[in-house]
Structures are given as structure tokens and as C-alpha cells.
Amino acid sequence: MSFFSKRLASTFTMKSVPTKARHNIPLPSSSFPSGFLLGGIHAGVKKKAGVPDLAVILSTSEQPTTAAACFTRNAFKAAPVLVSDEILTKNGGYARAVVVNSGCANAVTGKQGIDDAWAMVKATDSLLSPSASSSKFEHETLVMSTGVIGQNLPISKILAGIESQSPSKKETCVLGSDFKAWELAAQAFMTTDTFPKLRSRVFSIGGVEYRMAGMDKGAGMIHPNMGPASTSFSSGPKQLHATLLGCIMTDAAVSPRSLQSALTYAVDRSFNSISVDGDMSTNDSIYVLANGAASNGRVIDEETDKEGYEIFKKELTDFAADLAKLVVRDGEGATKFVTVTVKGAPSYRDAHNIASRISTSALVKTALYGEDANWGRILAATGSVPLQPTSANTPPPTIDPTKVSVTFLPSDGTSALPVLVNGEPEKVDEVRAKEILTLEDFEIVVDLGMGMDGEAKYWTCDFSYEYVRINGDYRS
């Protein structure tokens, strides 16, 4: 422990951080999508022996595997982000593998970092079995890295680890399709995470049953702002958008353009709606692979199969939100999981921007840790966000303070606590307020009262002394 951390610990009485291991739940192997092999091993990136730090995910489906991604908008995009975007763009939204290392971000590492990312891609490509549907692609692997920025990868160890996962090497290959294999892969994503974040679900479209499963990681340096890969069918601007990484797999068949469209929509309402500390990473990336192993001939597409696409988009959005919430629950030093809902705004974007500002306010987050219903800080954050013009020729709307209401909603089903109603402060029962904020989960609702249907949710956590300790000691 550093001198600063020891001094902090001796100065303040720290509230204990609730255990988070309960969020690591066993899942039935039957709930995982077919046509995938994956696993995690210790390759030697992390110092502690035996800790998984390298994950390999392979699609074994005979059907084409489509892929989509959303990447960080940080100017210092890590080498894996640049390389993966190039592969997706060149392939037009197809990829059959993902390789992930933890312990080193391979960010701000110059030409060597790019070379190392390509080396990981090529080594993982060699694990894929020949496929007629993808023989036209030179590279079919997407890569992710997470850990300390500005350090080069121990690339020889990583390449040896990847090679050990060749299905022909029975003595070293751990790749599988059961819960253990999926959990090992999820563990290999982790840095300061306290539990592997893995979920699965089964859903139906037109009487056909599909499966979706995925994992993510993140506990610090969490305030993603991700956008679509630079593929030609991506909507919106073509620029790219502890670290947030996530990978979702499904055995549905989805066209490349529709997979990207669905992921872009889902990410905005999930991973782009969480904050631990307000810091955007250089490596934030979310990938989706759809291998068609359970497709029964149906290819989901937003133009030719609108009904199927809408169902798939909703399932993906809900699933992404489930994964994103796990990141907030595992926020470094976090003792609270707080949902911030903003409604009555002119648009979803306005509501989202305000919810983001509330969720990243250090004053709000420290009040949450202190279990203090200091709603004045919430209002100050709300009022600091300018609303967007509804058209090019009209001035932006403004918030009317006399219409705004703020309410605390407990998660235990007991009555809500209004603290501001139509701009008028309520006589707050401080004992009741303390009861709500003592809960691990609760919600803050800000109604702008503008008579419009713009509504958005953000998920955040508190700032504790433990957060400072973790980040003060991060590199040591």
C-alpha cells in the first residue's frame, strides 16, 4: 500500500464495500449459443501465476459468421481498436474469432503496438478451420487488450499462449462450449474486476429458438462513448468512437448491416449509458458475432425481415443492458448501484445528456456514498446541460425550473420520496431519506416537466475512499 493510501486509511473511517461475488452465477450450458469454442488461460501477461489473462473465442459454424463492433471515440485509440476496425471494414462485417488479453492495454505503444496486435490476429487466424464461406478474407480475427496504458505487450508469451489453444494440441487446449469454458474466457477479460461478468439468454423469433451469451469487463476508467465501426453500411459519423470490453455471441443469422445497426442502437442504451468515474478509455470496444448455427435458413435483416429484426434488436439491447449494469455493480470501491432516470425532455438525446451529467458529478457521487439526499447537487448538474435545438432554424428549448420534480425511488418496494415537486421543495423526512440511500440499489428520477416524451436511463455508482486507494496504487 502506498504512503498516500496508508494516510487515507488512517484519516477516515471507511465504509465497507459490499461483496460482489454473488453476481457471478452458474449458467446452464444449454443456454449458450451453438457453434462456438472458447476458453481462457494464463499466458504470462499478468504477474500472478495461474490467473487467466488470455481468451480465445472461435466460431465453428458452417454458416457465415457476421460481426459488428462499437469502438471508443478517444483520440488515443489503442492498437487493437485500429486493427479490428480495419479488419471489419475490409471484410464488410465478417469475422470468425476474437482474441483478448488482459494485463496490458497495448495503447499509446506506437508502431510496435500495431505490429503486436496484427501478430495476435494472425496467430488466432491459424486456429480457425478452413471455411468456404470465408476463404475470401485474409484475416478473420478481432483483437482486444486491456490493462495499463503505455506499455508494450509481452508478445512472445501471448503468441505462445494462442498457439497452445490449437484444437490439435490436446494436452494444452482448454477450448470448449460448456459453462466452465465460457467462465474461463470471462475471467481472462478481468483487470480490477472482482468477478467475471457472464450472462446468457434464450429467445425465439418466428418459432425458431436462438441463444445469446456474452461477457464484459470493467470496474474503473468507465464512461464509454462508443460508435460504430467504419464499415460502409454504418450509420452516423465514420470516426471511431480500467477499460470496458465486451463480446456477445449468438447463433442467429443476421446480415452485416443489420447486426451493426442493432448493436449501435443497443450500445447507446446500455454501455454508453453507464459511468463509474467519468473517464473514457482508449480501448473501449464491444463486439458481436452472429454465426447462424441455429438459423434454419432465416437471415435477420432490417429491410427484408423487419419483424425479426425488431425482435432481435430488442433482445440485444436488453442483453447489453444486463452486461453493462454488471460493470457498474463492480465499480471500483462502489457501495451503491444507482439508476438515474430523466424524463419529460424534448428528446432522448437531451434526457441522455442530462442523465450522464448527473451520473458523472463528483458532488452527486460523493453524496451518494455519504447517503445524503442532497438533491440540490442533482439540480445543479441538471441545469448545467444545454438542450439541443429541435431544428436548424429554431433556438434551443430551455428548462423551466418551476416545472422540474425530483424523486428518490427505493428498490425494496416501499414508498417513493419526492424532494422537489414542480420547482417547490418538499419538507423532506431526513430519516426516510437516509433509509432509502442506505439501500445498495435505488433510483433517482428527474422529471423536467416539459410535456415531452424524451426519456433516458443511466446507471452509475458512488465515489468511495476505496476508489481512491485502488487508483492510487493501480500501477504498483
Residue 243 marked ligand-binding: yes
C-alpha cell at 130: 478452413
C-alpha cell at 463: 465515489
Burial annotation 435-467 (CB, 10 A radius, 16+ → b, else e): ebbebeebbbbbbbbbebebbbbbbbbbbbbbb
> Cβ–Cβ contacts within 10 Å for residue 394, how many?
8
Residue with cell 422540474: 404
Residue 62 marked ligand-binding: no
Residue with cell 496504487: 473
Burial annotation 27-46 (CB, 10 A radius, 16+ → b, else e): beeeebbebbbbbbbbbbbb
Catalytic residue among 109, 192, 243, 382: 243
Q: Are 126 and 104 in contact (CB under 8 A)?
A: no
**Sign, CA torsion 265/266/267/271:** positive
- The DSSP code sequence of 106-155 is --S-HHHHHHHHHHHHHHHHTTSPP-GGGTT-S--EEEEEEEETT----H
Between CA 235 and CA 406 the distance in angstroms is 35
User: If DSSP codes are grouped into helix, strand and coil, which group holds residue 396?
Assistant: coil
The set of residues, in sequence order, having a beta carbon less than 8 Å from that of 394 and lying 6+ positions away, is none
Q: Are 465 and 370 in contact (CB under 8 A)?
A: no
For residue 211, the surrounding DSSP H or E stretch is strand 208-217
Closest CA to 227 of 186, 185, 280, 191: 280
User: If DSSP codes are grouped into helix, strand and coil, which group holds residue 416?
Assistant: coil
Residue 466 marked ligand-binding: no
Residue 192 marked ligand-binding: no
- The DSSP code sequence of 317-366 is HHHHHHHHHHHHHT-TT---EEEEEEEEESSHHHHHHHHHHHHH-HHHHH
Closest CA to 261 of 317, 190, 181, 327: 317
Residue 191 marked ligand-binding: yes
Residue 471 marked ligand-binding: yes
> Cβ–Cβ contacts within 10 Å for residue 432, how many?
15
In the annotation, is 243 catalytic? Answer: yes
Closest CA to 52 of 177, 190, 249: 190
Enumerate the known binding-site residues. 191, 217, 243, 332, 471, 476
- Give the active site residues: 243
Enumerate the known binding-site residues for substrate. 191, 217, 243, 332, 471, 476
